Each structure stands twice: as C-alpha cells, then as structure tokens.
A and B are shown apart, each in its own frame.
Chain A
Amino acid sequence: MKTKRGAISKDLPKLRSAQIQLLERLCNAISVSGGEGEVREIILEQVKPYADEIKIDALGNVLVTRKGIVRRGDTRRLRVMLAAHMDEVGFMIVNDEGEGIFRFGVVGGIDSRQLPGHAVKVGTDHIPAVIGAKPVHLVEDSDLKHVFPIDDLRIDAGPGNGKGGKIKVGDWATFAIPFKRIGPSLRAKALDDRVGVASLIELVKHAPANIDLLAAFTVQEEVGLRGAGVAAYAFDPDMAIVLDCTPANDLPDWHGEENIHYNTHLGAGPAIYIADHATLSDPRLVRFFIETAEVQGIPYQLRQPGGGSTDAGAIHRQRTGIPSISISVPTRYPHTAASIARFSDWQNTFSLVYTSLSQLTFDVLVGER
C-alpha cells in the first residue's frame, strides 16, 4: 500500500488559536460519564454547519456523518468511523450530609491518592467546592504513611450551600483546574479526551472527500466503553479509528536507569496502538499508519503494548467485526487534576490522521487480517 508525499500537505488544516480556544472551552466543561451534556452542546454548535446528518442516540452519543464524493470506478465510498469520547472521569454527588458537605462517588478510574486537597466544581452551574483533608497538625505520624480512606473524603461547598441549596444528589463534579497554555505545553483537566474531541471536530469540518466520515462523539468510555459499541453498531463502518489520549510515563527513573515502561514519550508524536488490553489492532491498519507517517515525515511512536483500553475495544467486536486501530495524543498525568500534553503532539496527531484519511482506499483492507 503506497502512500503519496507532497500533494497532501498544502490542504492540511493547521491547529491555531481558534482550535486552542475551542479546546479550552471543551476542557473547562464538566462532562462526567453519564452526564456529557455540556460537551455535547459545544460539539453540536460546532458541527451543525458542516454535517450532512446528525443524530443523538439512546445513550447520548453524537453521531455525525459527512459524506464524501464517489470516485470514478468505485460503486461506493469507504465508510470510516472515527471516535472520540466526550466523557471524563470525575465524581457524582451521592449523599447530602447537610451544611454544604456532600458524599461523592468516583466515576471512572481515578487513583484515590489524587483526591485530597483539590478544588472541584459541581453541576451545570460549576459551583465551586473543595475536597478537603485533615490538617497535618492533627494527623498521627503513623497515619501519614496511609492513603486517606476514600470513604472519609467529602466535597465541601461551604455552609452556604447546605440542604436546599443548589447542589443536588446526582449532580456531577470534576476537578476545577482551568485550561492553560504554558510554552510548548497544554495543561488542563480532561485532556483525555477533549483533545480527541477537538481533533474530531476539525476532521468533521475539513472532512476529506474520498471517504464517508462517520464521526462518533461517544459517551461513557471511562466506565466501560459503553457508548462506542452502540455507535459502531449503528454506523456499521468498514473500519474504525479511535482518537484518544494515552499516558506518557516518561519521567526519570529513581535509580537513574533507562525508563523502559514509558508507555509513550511526550514530544515524540502521535502514538499508534498495536495492542492494549481490549484490542489487538488490525495489523493492516498499523502498517498503513506507520507507512503514511514515514512517507509524509510526520513524527510518530508506537504505544507500548499492554494494559489500558480505548473505544476500539467495543467497536471492533460489533456485528461481523470491524478492523480498528487507536491513535492517541501522549498525555502526562491523565485522570488527575492537571494533565500535560505538547501542542506539537496534538498537531502531529491531527496531521497524521487527516493525511491518512485522505489516502485511504479499499486497498487498505485487502488481504487477510
């Protein structure tokens, strides 16, 4: 499968301040698994002028179609599904204990050590609150070695938000750190997967004409890849590409030795998945993306095979099987209050996906898996 150089780069859309501002809006929104409304509204506003079809399904996935143009000789276009998940990890208020103190449940995989001492925001009005922690003066030395038991932690909105106030059981909450551009980096909560969502919005706006672009902005990825499967079933595509984030564990080793469990490196470009816990990427697609990156001179890396999962886990098992792959932006500290990604990795991920889409033909799936 040969890829062409040169002709594509002129048309390649660039990510500039408008896209960064959109990413800021997306990252600052609250959309925890099961309550993705705020991000969904931003997406709808952005894609409505461009979409041929928009549907919101039973779970709240936003399914957007942009039809391509049939070329001479083809009876139909290649149907390519792209997925980015709208939801983030966060919290749900589960009990009102009065005087502004609320018990909360953790939604998605958050290390409980990341919780105490943080600012959070609650509900559609983004009401500010905190997850407090016992003052160190009052902590026994022996307890310093132990994790704060999660059952002891509470969200505190201040006594003014007591019973009958604005916060209700069932409201969702997230960390409150605001999006910020810092030099070459982007710092925010929920870069996972607002970066993917932002990329997918751009792809919808600049959809290549050679394919039918089936964009799924999915729900509930963080609680078991729940939205992606039904979206894939509805689209019934020829293949799927998932745009997500993956950890960059590329920090220094304590002993000064080579870090061999980095997963990905920040600054090394889009991370192509060969295997994670939920999906063995279709080897034909892996080869295609690697070749495209090499021919086009786009930096890329192979995400270390192993744990983790993306929407591809649910997508590839739908119907009679859908060849799938994930391409992620490396991100340090996902699922914490403040994650960090490089702007260049985001741009290169977008470039790789856009370029690859423009060159996709039915030939990519010829031959056995």
Chain B
Amino acid sequence: MKELMPFLKEMVSIAGLSGYETPIRQLVEETWRPLTDELHVSRLGSLHGLQKGEAPKGSGSCHSIAFATHMDAIGLMVTGVVEGFLRVTEVGGLDPRVLLGQPVVVHGRENLLGVVVQPPANLLPNMGPDTTVSVEHLLVDTGLLPNQVSRLVHTGDLVSYAQEPLELGDDYLAGHTLDNRVSIAALTYCLELLRKNRHAWDVWAVATVQEEETMAGALTSTYDLRPKIAVAVDVTFAKGPGVSDYRAFSLGKGITLGWGPNIHPTLHKMVKELADKLEIPCHLDPLPHRSGTDAYGMQIVAEGVPTVVIGIPLRYMHTPVEMVAIKDIQRAGRLMAEFAMQLEPEFVVELTEK
C-alpha cells in the first residue's frame, strides 16, 4: 500500500492547473497503472482507470460505478508582461487577499521562481491602507531583468503556488492543492483495497480535468463512460478559525455525505448505512442547492446519473496552506472500496419513497 503522506506531498509538488493537468496526470497514471486493468486518457485529458468487475455468468458486461476526483488545481495565469513584472488573472476561484507575498512558480519557457507582490499605494488607483487589492492590481516579481523576463514569459503562461507542503505531526498535512489531491489519494487507497477483494461491478477511477473552472471533465467523462452510479469525492469545509457553522465539520473526526437535490437519496441512505456498519464516522452535509463538486455536472449528463458526494474536511480551502487529516483520507478510501464491493450484480438504483 502506498504511504499516503509521501504520496500526497509528491502530488502537491507537481503543477496541474485547470486546463493544463498533464504533469499531475502523468504521476497519477504511473500510480494507477499497477492498480487497473485499463487506463486511458479522455479527449480533454481526464484519466480513466478501470478495474474490471466479475461479470455474472452468462452476461458479457457489468454495471459500472465511477469515482470522480478532480486533479486540476487553482492558480494564476499571466495576462501581460510590464517592465519585467507579470500581470496575472485567476484560474479557478481564490481570495486575492491570501496572495500577497506568496512564493510562486512561473511556468514560462523555463520554470522561474517568483513572488506575488502588492505595489505601493501611490502606484495604484484609489488605494488606502485599509483597502484590499484585487488580482488585477497584483504583480509577480521573478527577480529577473525585463529583457530576461520578456524572453522567458509570455501572456498565457501559468503561475502555480510554490509553498512546500508541511507535515504537522504524523496525522496532518498542510499545503496547497490538497483540494483535490487528497481525494485522488483516497481513490488510490480505494483501488488498492479493491485489488485485493472481489467486486461484481466495474469500477472506474476518474481523475477529472477543469472542475475548478468549467466541470468540463465531469461532463465529458460521464458522457463517455455512462456509469450507473457516479460518486464525486471532493473536499468540504472543516471547522476552524472563522468557520464554525453548520457548513463545516471537525478536522479528523470523520468524512461527510452530501444531502440535497444533487444527491440521490437511495444512494445516500446506502452509503450512510454502510458507513455506520463499518464504524466510519460519517456526517450529513446539507446541500440545499448545488454540491460545488463534479457531481453537479455528472448528474445531468445524457439521461441522468444517480450521484453521491463524499466529502473530506479541509481547513483554509483555496489557500496555499490547506490542512487535512490523513485519517479522513483513509476513511474515505475505505468507504468507497466497501461501497463498490457490496454492489450486487443486478442492483438497480431506484427511488424508494419514505
């Protein structure tokens, strides 16, 4: 079994911004190759890994369940080069207030180190000591001279966080892009467990692209694979300073299961009962509208797909210092594997009214 902590650290040290996931995909591909029977890349770059189920006697094919974990990361993109400084825009959603002073990597003709800086107030329109600066006013300084920068960087180049991941004891990790690499880790753990056990259904492990931007991966991979059940595994809010209401869950005290229009009630009930039986702490995450995960896209593809959302609590989401409990990743991975294993060959998802 792969050690989760080093695997996670390796994953967040590789770039893979929305639309440009190739580097992370290559790592996941290598990791999943021994764990899958088939591995291919979708037209938009998502990774599809198949662990075949045992087809019932007489029939040629099994139903399939797809686990979707998005592999893209948020970051920045260069919009212009001005006197050696880089102007940038967001890729994915982030709070510009956490960008100041952040170490970044500029992926130009070479990888360059840089820092995100806030120009002095007198060089910005209408700025006071108490106003925040939007992304369009920030700059990236690579420390290089303008003619060097012009040679090495152009509009459209990507900028990713350079914050190194931090092990906080044995049980917690802080770093950027734990959203959603922790779910890839959980899915990898799940595949390892499945490899050692029998399952009737085909299991698709899908590392999707562009969840942070367009859900293009979720939509197109689901159309391609047409699973009978789709499970989105993503991060959810963990309680912490400034975040304490019903939308957040304690770090390290278990995973979450979404409930609401984006989730199929029968599947929710099945997963919850299984979690209780396995004594995996699993909390209900009320989602009155959208889930904010790949499930939102997957649910409405073609004739519709029954969906479930599993959440791994994460503090400081979409900052360079997101924090996760390793135990929660293992819980998620185990629940996913057990759920896939208990699916009967002829099982059909149906609505059962209370």
Please list the residues of chain A having a beta carbon within 8 angstroms of any beta carbon in chain B.
33-35, 37, 40-41, 56-61, 91-95, 103, 105-107, 124, 169-170, 219-220, 223-224, 226-227, 229-230, 233-234
Decide if B279 is an interface residue (CB 8 Å cutoff). Answer: no
Decide if B260 is an interface residue (CB 8 Å cutoff). Answer: yes
- Quick one: which of B245, B261, B303, B306 contacts A220, CB cutoff 8 A? B261
- Quick one: which of A59, A103, A169 contacts B304, CB cutoff 8 A? A59
B246 touches A103 (CB 8 A): yes
19 more CB-based (< 8 A) A-B contacts, given A33-B261, A56-B350, A106-B288? A35-B261, A35-B265, A37-B351, A40-B353, A92-B286, A92-B288, A95-B246, A103-B246, A169-B259, A169-B284, A169-B286, A170-B260, A170-B284, A219-B261, A223-B289, A224-B290, A226-B261, A226-B299, A233-B303
Closest 5 CB pairs of A and B: A34-B261, A230-B304, A105-B288, A95-B246, A58-B304
Residues of the B chain whose Cβ atoms lie less than 8 Å from the Cβ of A92: 260, 286, 288
B302 touches A230 (CB 8 A): yes
Question: For the complex, what is the distance from the CA of A220 to the CA of B299, rounded to whole Å?
Answer: 12
Please list the residues of chain B having a beta carbon within 8 angstroms of any beta carbon in chain A.
245-247, 259-265, 284, 286, 288-290, 299-306, 349-351, 353-354
Residues of the A chain whose Cβ atoms lie less than 8 Å from the Cβ of B351: 37, 40, 56, 60
- Quick one: which of B246, B299, B349, B354 contacts A94, CB cutoff 8 A? B246
Question: For the complex, what is the distance from the CA of A323 to the CA of B265, rounded to whole Å?
Answer: 33
Question: For the complex, what is the distance from the CA of A42 to the CA of B312, rounded to whole Å?
Answer: 38
Question: For the complex, what is the distance from the CA of A234 to the CA of B304, rounded to whole Å?
Answer: 9
Question: For the complex, what is the distance from the CA of A37 to the CA of B303, rounded to whole Å?
Answer: 20
A58 touches B264 (CB 8 A): yes
Q: A186: shortest Cβ distance to chain B, in Å?
A: 27
Residues of the B chain whose Cβ atoms lie less than 8 Å from the Cβ of A34: 260-263, 288
Residues of the B chain whose Cβ atoms lie less than 8 Å from the Cβ of A58: 264, 299, 303-306, 349
B260 touches A233 (CB 8 A): no
Subset of 16 A-B contacts with CB under 8 Å: A35-B261, A40-B351, A56-B351, A57-B303, A57-B304, A58-B299, A58-B303, A58-B306, A94-B286, A95-B246, A95-B286, A105-B286, A170-B259, A170-B260, A226-B300, A229-B300
Q: A50: shortest Cβ distance to chain B, in Å?
A: 21
Question: For the complex, what is the distance from the CA of A61 to the CA of B299, rounded to whole Å?
Answer: 13
Interface of A is mostly: mixed
Given A103-B246, A226-B300, do A37 and B353 touch, yes or no (CB 8 Å)? yes
Residues of the B chain whose Cβ atoms lie less than 8 Å from the Cβ of A91: 288
Residues of the B chain whose Cβ atoms lie less than 8 Å from the Cβ of A124: 354
Question: For the complex, what is the distance from the CA of A116 to the CA of B35, rounded to whole Å?
Answer: 56
Question: For the complex, what is the distance from the CA of A94 to the CA of B287, rounded to whole Å?
Answer: 8
Question: For the complex, what is the distance from the CA of A56 to the CA of B303, rounded to whole Å?
Answer: 11
A59 touches B350 (CB 8 A): no
Question: For the complex, what is the distance from the CA of A56 to the CA of B264, rounded to whole Å?
Answer: 13
**Chain B: CB-nearest residue to A95:** B246
Residues of the B chain whose Cβ atoms lie less than 8 Å from the Cβ of A56: 350-351
Residues of the B chain whose Cβ atoms lie less than 8 Å from the Cβ of A107: 261, 288-289
Q: A368: shortest Cβ distance to chain B, in Å?
A: 28
B245 touches A95 (CB 8 A): yes
Residues of the A chain whose Cβ atoms lie less than 8 Å from the Cβ of B289: 105, 107, 223
Question: For the complex, what is the distance from the CA of A230 to the CA of B264, rounded to whole Å?
Answer: 15
Question: For the complex, what is the distance from the CA of A61 to the CA of B300, rounded to whole Å?
Answer: 12
- Quick one: which of B265, B290, B300, B350 contacts A230, CB cutoff 8 A? B300
Question: For the complex, what is the distance from the CA of A40 to the CA of B264, rounded to whole Å?
Answer: 15
Question: For the complex, what is the distance from the CA of A91 to the CA of B286, rounded to whole Å?
Answer: 12
**Chain A: CB-nearest residue to B247:** A94
Question: For the complex, what is the distance from the CA of A61 to the CA of B260, rounded to whole Å?
Answer: 15
**Chain B: CB-nearest residue to A314:** B300
Residues of the A chain whose Cβ atoms lie less than 8 Å from the Cβ of B247: 94
Question: For the complex, what is the distance from the CA of A40 to the CA of B352, rounded to whole Å?
Answer: 11
Given A33-B261, A92-B286, A170-B259, do A234 and B303 touch, yes or no (CB 8 Å)? yes
Q: A312: shortest Cβ distance to chain B, in Å?
A: 16
**Chain B: CB-nearest residue to A220:** B261
**Chain B: CB-nearest residue to A151:** B245
**Chain A: CB-nearest residue to B245:** A95
- Quick one: which of B245, B260, B284, B300 contacts A59, CB cutoff 8 A? B300
